Structure 1
Amino acid sequence: MASPATSSCLLFLLALLLPLSAFAVPRRLRFPSLELASFNASEPPSTFFEVDRPIRPPRGSVGPCSALLLSGSFGYTYGRPPSTAAYAPPECLGAARGRGGSVALAVLEWTADCRGRQFDRIFGVWLSGAELLRSCTAEPRPNGILWSVSRDVTRYAALLSEPGEIAVYLGNIVDRTYTGVYHANLTLHLYFDSAPPPPPQQQHADLILPISRSLPLYDGQWFAIQNSTDVQSKKLAIPSNTYRAVLEVFVSFHGSDEFWYTNPPNEYIEANKLSGLPGNGAFREIIVKVDEDIVGAVWPFTVIYTGGVNPLLWRPITGVGSFNLPTYDIDITPFLGKFLDGKEHDFGFGVTNALDVWYIDANLHLWLDHKSVRTTGGLVSYDAAASEHVQSEFSGLTGRFVTTASRHVSATGWVESSHGKVMTTFNQRFSYVNSNVYSKSGSVQVVNQTIDTKSDVSATIGGTVLLSEEVHQVFPLYLFDGTSDEVGDEYSLVSVVKLGISEKRQQDFSNSSLQNAQSARGSMRVKKNLVVSGSGENHQVYRYVGTDGCYFRDVSSKNYTVVLDHSDGSCLRRPRDVGSRFFSRLSIPSVDGAVNVES
């Protein structure tokens, strides 16, 4: 079983050992960090960052109360056990609960530094087997780099209140060439309500059960999905007084499927005898099953890690989602009637068309009826329909492949509890279109893709609405990748990447919208296994508007240097016109209608 660290290294080395003609399509490789100019030891370390909305404590809350959970160095760590530390709830947490207070905000902060040369590495953080954070490292420079990641972990309040064990897996390899060792601290920051809150419907789960692998391990606690028939699962029995259940799924893709959205169909590879290329087409879907029922699906956002395509695109602004990989919620409450029998049930994951390797696990968030020993339930209606179609047209190494897909999952069920008979409906709707075009004898590839996802959940007692949530997300992607000027073991690589997220979210009486658009372009000259020259630039506009506040940031970088940075947290006036012009130029689709990203 290969880890992401090793998969990346092997893919990179394999590519450089083969001649250019063996690839037929542009090499979408990962590269280690590189230095464009002579090293100046007096320069301070570079600070890398992912553009995101700052996490602000709720008004009236007190804190923070901070606790260092783990401090470690990750060098010769591939194929070794995760770093672990005993977890005890901070004293301030017990004191606050003794006063009748509750956690208003919990923030998990990862801070790290590294110097030298190194590939990017995927890593995960688990508490008692439940994953709290999945992230990618930044790639270092000789004078060093710094970065931090903060994630709101308030939804894990029940888990944070119990003793347990922290585990961090960051598989890294150090040798003469790749010298970077990652030094990291993991800290928990807690904020509390200053007074006991009124008793609304409970927001966070009473119990969180991990659906992951158990320690001891010589890898992360995630499951490794290695092909399209591989299904990984775990058996769990849930408490008999459960009245709501939500699966939170963590996903990352590596090795042959790191750039799955660029993969040609197997027929193209076989026709041109390109045995060194990944295939199985450009569509991937994570199927989530409980026993034999498909309870939901995940169509993942196309995260590009900090060494992907051209490392200089992501310095110091990293790709959307690369430092804080998104998670995906699936409400399985309609199915609860099948799981309230006290027996173990099989929670499993598979990936359509998968190649080695996908890392997947989940947390099962459960709400318990404390006034009842046992709840009962039943499934009223259920449907899970899907389709996938690939249109291929190619002659030799030149071709066009258009892939379309759709998925609909819908379930309605009831649970009888002390609250009454709660009727819950959960829906998911997905649509997907991907165009892959190969030209100039396969040396140029253009990918144009849009993923459109909608989900909603509602819970009612009689005519009273207890819960109403709707989320609509669009993930656009445009990628141009071309190789040229091959001379011996040298070649040039030119890349353009445009990606982003457009989201509208409604929950009960609150709503929000997000437009997060990123455009990056760059070039590299590659000789043997090293980048000998190159350049990269990145422009990102982030705009969030919600009932809980607003945030706007317009930032650009070029070759490690931030050349423009404007931010605004006010909801009173619109952001500068440059933001609107930028979204228009990128043609990032809104949730009201997708448009061609390439235009």
Structure 2
Amino acid sequence: MFNVNPYPLFQLFLLFLLFHPNVSARESASALLTDRFILHSPSSGSSSAPQEYIDPTRPSLLLPDGPPSCSLPVLRHDFANTYGSPPASATYSPPADCPAPWAHVVLDLSVACAGDQYDRIAAVWLDGAELLRTSTAEPTESGVFWRVRKDVTRYSALLRRSNASVAMMLENIVNDVYTGVYHVNVSLDFYQEEEKRRRRPSGEPLALGFFPQDSSGLITAEVELGRIEERLDFSSVEAGNPLTSKAKVPSLYEEPADLIIPISNEDSAGGFWFRIQNESDAHFKNFKIPNNTYMAVLEIYVSYHSNDEFWYSNPPDEYIKKNNLTTGRGNGSFREVVAKIDGQFVGSVVPFPVIFTGGINPLFWAPVVSLGAFDLPSYNVDLTPFLGLLLDGQLHNVSLGVTDGIDFWLVDANLHLWLDPHLDSVTAELVSYKAPEISVSRRYMFHLLNGTFKIEAGRKIHFSGWVNSSLGNLTTDVDQKLKYKSLIEFMNDGNYKGVHMKGKVKTDVRIRTGPKAILSQGTYKSKYPLLIATLALPGENNTYTSKTNLTHTLYEEYTLLRDKVVTTSALVDRQDAEGWMLVQDHSVLSGSAGTRQTYQYRDDNGSYLRKVSARDGVLLSDNTTSSYLVASL
């Protein structure tokens, strides 16, 4: 793995704090609980050209190289005063000149905006299934523009539909103060199967799955972790007995799901996402799956807003009440998105803390946006062990909720299903279920405006179930360990706030034909530490100066063991930012800030490194080194 030291900025900042005189002001403590701002453009006659904003977490090597077989415009809309309006929509049909199957399909989103505007959340759905969760940059008077390209091949089952409905939600407010209109174009680029690419002959069994990709494009594994490589060779299998000793695991072959069921809001007037307002506000969706389903994965999309936009830095309610603070940002700093089927826990996610471009200090995110802001990650929960409960031809329901959540979260999901092409029905059984309640420890100590708030949480789950299909009787074991730690410190009479957060998850998935006959085993590890140190200094005319240092990192590592061969991939994506801003209410009047980002990725085929540096809205450097010969497909 890569060696990254996240602490030097914070050591220097704390040394500064120790020698800085106390400024006792309750307003400063309230200011430290206000982390969403708008950067107003200076009123000048400047006619500089619009500026491109970038997200370095999307290296080109992880997307198809070369021109697509065809490109299809699917939606164009100007999102002006759209708050409270239904999503913009259009009719979609796949392109006739390059029909399925496709090697890749890439969603291409381009946005331009000029004026003053907050960051806004947005999403794109196809027949109610979410394809992309994104947010906007905060524009300038001269204008900004950006582009998001996301591989959406995994949604091929939806993309093959004709007369489908594509929809996009972006609630925006335009008036005398907020003048920015977001001009949006959405298209799809289709890359057809190459002649040299292996095709599945008629009657050949489907692959066991695929590796989904997260917001960075990296192979992830909270869903499958090793499913797609395992496809049994039936050429020597005895008739009626798919489990002979001659069955073997051949080469890797990827295959998207055969059916995708949206777990989303049918009343789409406010978007297809569910709006969760508190910890008891769970939302349900009924569904029924085909009797020949042999694999199932629940993909969850989530974003957090209003009083929970910065949930990872919220103090407890006791601190707010005893200090007579007016903020609604409370309920502590732990959140967990929980999925249940018919009321039974089947998986959970502690989400990666995406910071939107108006968050913490908007000067940090120009023109290099925060990690995941343009392409928020989705999270995958393997439901295959639970097929024994679902294959009864009856309606079931999925519920989504947020532990300790407050107003508000936007959550929906897609249920990916793989169907046996040779059988009308398969059999399955859940054989092991261990899912104890999450363990949460809270230790709060404070006096007046100073205090420390510690939270530690953990969960360990194990699910196991078999499915007997034309692929054989295969057992899937899912083991996951989740750990979360948070320390929030208020010092210097409430003028200083420190946030130290780290989420950590390890997921193992095994596919086997017997107790020790393991076809494959994949291990996915992820860590996402976040360090924020902010000092607020009260000023004149209801202003204050905020000085902040930030370090935000995503570590991912994937290891696959198959046929005694180990393959690995690893990612470190890190941003360091420092700067100050003069604030009045939520408006940034002036300031200076710099951001550095390092994206490092490696796998068995090579390595990739990109380093980006920006200062005061100007891109200073953008350097890339790669050992890959061509962009990877």
- TM-score grouping bracket, smaller chain normalisation: 0.7 to 0.9
Q: Which residue of 1 aligns with 2:119?
A: 120
Q: Secondary structure at the match of 1:335?
A: helix
1:518 aligns to 2:575 (yes or no): yes
Matches within 5 A, 1:170-319: 170-195=170-195, 197-199=198-200, 201=231, 203-215=255-267, 217-319=268-370
Question: For residue 484 of structure 1, what is the amino acid of its counterpart?
Answer: L
Task: After TM superposition, give the deviation of residue 530 of structure 1 in Å.
Answer: 2.9
CA distance in 2, matches of 1:174, 1:469: 49
1:73 aligns to 2:78 (yes or no): yes
CA distance in 2, matches of 1:60, 1:515: 23
CA distance in 2, matches of 1:271, 1:284: 23
1:30 aligns to 2:36 (yes or no): yes
The answer (yes or no) to whether the contact 2:26–2:494 under 8 Å persists in 1 is no
CA distance in 1, matches of 2:554, 2:385: 29
Q: Secondary structure at the match of 1:434?
A: strand
The TM-score, its normalising length taken from structure 2, stands at 0.83
Q: Which residue of 1 aligns with 2:227?
A: none
CA distance in 2, matches of 1:58, 1:497: 30
The answer (yes or no) to whether the contact 1:434–1:450 under 8 Å persists in 2 is yes
Q: Which residue of 1 aligns with 2:480?
A: 428
Q: Secondary structure at the match of 1:269?
A: helix
1:85 aligns to 2:90 (yes or no): yes
1:412 aligns to 2:488 (yes or no): no
CA distance in 2, matches of 1:529, 1:434: 26
CA distance 1:377–1:33, change in 2 (3 Å) = same
CA distance in 2, matches of 1:61, 1:178: 39
CA distance in 2, matches of 1:143, 1:223: 36
Question: For residue 262 of structure 1, what is the amino acid of its counterpart?
Answer: S
CA distance in 2, matches of 1:180, 1:20: 34
1:470 aligns to 2:519 (yes or no): no
Question: For residue 28 of structure 1, what is the amino acid of its counterpart?
Answer: T
CA distance in 2, matches of 1:76, 1:378: 52
| Pairing partner for 1:354 from 401, 405, 414 | 405
Q: Secondary structure at the match of 1:532?
A: strand
The answer (yes or no) to whether the contact 1:286–1:298 under 8 Å persists in 2 is yes
CA distance 1:61–1:506, change in 2 (3 Å) = farther
| Pairing partner for 1:446 from 494, 498, 513 | 498
| More off after superposition, 268-277 vs 105-114 | 268-277
- CA offset digits 1:418-439 (Å, max 9, x no partner): 1111101112211111110001
Identity of aligned residues (%): 39
Task: After TM superposition, give the deviation of residue 197 of structure 1 in Å.
Answer: 1.6
CA distance 1:60–1:322, change in 2 (3 Å) = closer
Task: After TM superposition, give the deviation of residue 506 of structure 1 in Å.
Answer: 2.8
CA distance in 2, matches of 1:521, 1:489: 24
Q: Which residue of 2 aligns with 1:384?
A: 435
| More off after superposition, 528-537 vs 130-139 | 528-537
- CA offset digits 1:155-198 (Å, max 9, x no partner): 11111111211000000000001100000110101112222524
The answer (yes or no) to whether the contact 1:331–1:457 under 8 Å persists in 2 is no
Task: After TM superposition, give the deviation of residue 491 of structure 1 in Å.
Answer: 1.1
CA distance 1:61–1:533, change in 2 (3 Å) = closer
Q: Which residue of 2 aligns with 1:590?
A: none
The answer (yes or no) to whether the contact 1:541–1:554 under 8 Å persists in 2 is yes
Task: After TM superposition, give the deviation of residue 538 of structure 1 in Å.
Answer: 0.4
The TM-score, its normalising length taken from structure 1, stands at 0.88
Aligned residues: 546
Task: After TM superposition, give the deviation of residue 20 of structure 1 in Å.
Answer: 5.3
Task: After TM superposition, give the deviation of residue 38 of structure 1 in Å.
Answer: 3.8
Task: After TM superposition, give the deviation of residue 25 of structure 1 in Å.
Answer: 6.0
Structure 2 spans left out of the alignment, 5+ residues: 1-24, 201-206, 208-230, 232-253
The answer (yes or no) to whether the contact 2:54–2:367 under 8 Å persists in 1 is yes
Instruction: Please provide the CA RMSD for this pair.
Output: 2.0
CA distance in 1, matches of 2:455, 2:62: 44
The answer (yes or no) to whether the contact 1:235–1:347 under 8 Å persists in 2 is yes
Q: Which residue of 2 aligns with 1:21?
A: 27
Question: For residue 55 of structure 2, what is the amino acid of its counterpart?
Answer: E
- CA offset digits 1:283-328 (Å, max 9, x no partner): 1111111112111110100100011011110000000011000111
| More off after superposition, 188-197 vs 50-59 | 50-59
The answer (yes or no) to whether the contact 1:473–1:501 under 8 Å persists in 2 is yes
CA distance in 1, matches of 2:574, 2:308: 24
Task: After TM superposition, give the deviation of residue 522 of structure 1 in Å.
Answer: 1.6
- CA offset digits 1:525-549 (Å, max 9, x no partner): 1235532211111000000112355
Task: After TM superposition, give the deviation of residue 560 of structure 1 in Å.
Answer: 1.1
Higher relative contact order (CA 8 A, sep 6+): 2
Q: Secondary structure at the match of 1:357?
A: strand
Matches within 5 A, 1:319-338: 319-338=370-389
Q: Which residue of 2 aligns with 1:581?
A: none
1:133 aligns to 2:132 (yes or no): yes
The answer (yes or no) to whether the contact 2:53–2:144 under 8 Å persists in 1 is yes
